[in-house]
Structure 1
Amino acid sequence: MFYAFLRNLVAFLLYAVNGRPEVHNLDKLPDKEENYILVAPHRTLWDPVYLAFLARPKQFIFMAKKELFKNKIFAWWIKKCGAFPVDRENPGPSALKIPIKELKEGNKSLIMFPSGTRHSDELKGGVVAIAKLSKARIIPAVYQGPLTFKDLFKRKKVKMNFGDPIDMSDIKRANAEGIDIVTKRIDEAFKSLDYDLDPNYKYIPVKK
């Protein structure tokens, strides 16, 4: 209940500032009874909110860097939002165990950003291992829109696009070869979804 309240509150604030997003292929998402892995390129601070809100009523867990949990108040907040800590430089077993257990035995799905610059190579391959061990389907999605608060308040249009499940029927193991194949398929899905929204779209990371 509190998770839904926080998700809806933050989404309401984003909608109030930027307006309703342009959403494509929302029907690609699985039935609310199915647990799945929603993957996307990590382009801004608020793309997880759009993903989680648009996929409602399904609830999600997601990985967050351990440094975010140093502040007790903020740690409490993001835990309520479904986050669990992960050491990006040296991911431990919990990086796989927690989402696999939830996907197999719980009622929440997982949001991951396997190609994000904020994730280590181990986490990029982790989505394949999690999918194989949990038997959860991988659903790709992309966000196009403002990357800074300044552009967000300028009401630059947010666009979201959802794709078909990533084919893993020929992947027997989550070894190096299997991870490489699936990672390429995910990247190709991202490019295709981006192209469908805007053939001229090119993601340019915000300079820090």
Structure 2
Amino acid sequence: MGNKCFRKFCRGIVRGIVKIFYRVEYIGEKYPEEGPYVICPNHLSILDIVFVILHSKKRWVYFMAKSELYKHKLSAWFLDKMGAFPVRRGQCDVRSIKRAVTLIQEGKLVCIFPQGTRQKGNKILPPRRGVAMLSALTGAEVIPVFIERKAKIHKKTKVYVGKPVNTGLDRNSSKEEIAKKSVELMDIVYNLPEVYKDK
């Protein structure tokens, strides 16, 4: 079974499971039907990436996964099949960045959690520069996504999807400009419920 068929098969199964056990409501925009974009969601639970992927019925979402998940051959094989690629958290992982850039240049959707790890409690974690840096390196626009709450069985979870954001960054942008834009993007993510409050 090829990767495309495998992903389609898995997505169908997972979509059915989520529909039964999780009440996910998507509010806002659909993902663009074509073109490269960086998807930028907040991160509360392991199911966040599932909700991000399931919002797209046609296109596949590639994503970074922490390198610790690749220690076992089976999980590494599965993640690879699902379009994930490893990232070493807390480091400047050049290999991971190159992989993300390549995917974006190929016109793919790539999801990166800007905060780098899951939020625990109510304290909002500051963003890292990964999303803005990829936008600077590729010119790709950023799709902000806000996940309202940590997923719980039979509890409604609202997922807000915003319009693509042109960061205005390029390869000549300074570290300071990229850092500033990272904060601005995070603010956009957390403001999505206000933007779509009447939807």
Q: Is contact 1:43–1:116 with CA below 8 Å preserved after alignment?
A: no
Q: TM-score, normalised by structure 2?
A: 0.83
The answer as to whether partners of 1:42 and 1:113 remain within 8 angstroms in 2 is yes
Instruction: Name the counterpart of 2:80.
Output: 79
Secondary structure of 2:143's aligned partner: strand
Q: Secondary structure at the match of 2:64?
A: strand
- Asked whether the equivalents of residues 137 and 170 of structure 2 are also in contact (C-alpha less than 8 Å), the reply is no
Q: Distance between the aligned counterparts of 2:118 and 2:166, measured in 1?
A: 25
Consecutive unaligned residues of structure 2, counting only runs of 5 or more, are: 120-124
Task: Give the structure 2 partner of residue 178 of structure 1.
Answer: 177
| Aligned residue in 2 for 1:52 | 53
Instruction: Give the residue type in structure 1 aligned to 2:83.
Output: G
Cα distance, 1:170–1:137 mapped onto 2, change above 3 Å: closer
Q: Percent identity?
A: 27
CA distance in 2, matches of 1:146, 1:114: 17
Runs of 4+ in 1 over 6 A off after TM superposition: none
How many aligned residue pairs are there? 188
What amino acid does structure 2 have at the position aligned with 1:164? K
1:61 aligned counterpart, secondary structure: strand
Task: Measure how far apart 1:129 and its partner are.
Answer: 1.9
More divergent stretch after superposition (184-193 vs 162-171) = 162-171
Distance across 2 between alignment mates of 1:67 and 1:137: 29
Instruction: Output the CA distance in 1 between the equivalents of 2:156 and 2:196.
Output: 12
Change (3 A) 1:41 1:194: same
Amino acid at match of 1:177: E
**Is the 1:8–1:53 Cα contact (8 Å) retained in structure 2?**
no
In the alignment, what sits opposite 1:117? 117
Q: 1:137 to 1:173 in 2, by over 3 A?
A: same
Displacement, 1:183? 1.1
Structure 2 residue matching 1:9: 3-state secondary structure: helix
Please name the residue that 1:24 is paired with. Answer: 27
Over 3 Å counting, the alpha-carbon distance change for 1:174 and 1:7 in structure 2 is: farther
Query: Cα distance, 1:47 vs. partner?
Result: 1.2
More helix by share: 1
The answer for the alignment partner of 1:127 in structure 2 is 131
Q: TM-score with structure 1 length normalisation?
A: 0.80
Shift of 1:196: 4.7
> Which residue pairs with 2:122 in the alignment?
none
What amino acid does structure 2 have at the position aligned with 1:87? R
2:144 maps to which residue? 140
Distance change >3 Å, CA 131–CA 170, structure 1 → 2: closer
- Unaligned runs of 5+ residues in structure 1 are 199-208
Q: State the distance in 2 between where 1:184 and 1:166 align.
A: 13
2: CA distance between counterparts of 1:7 and 1:99? 22
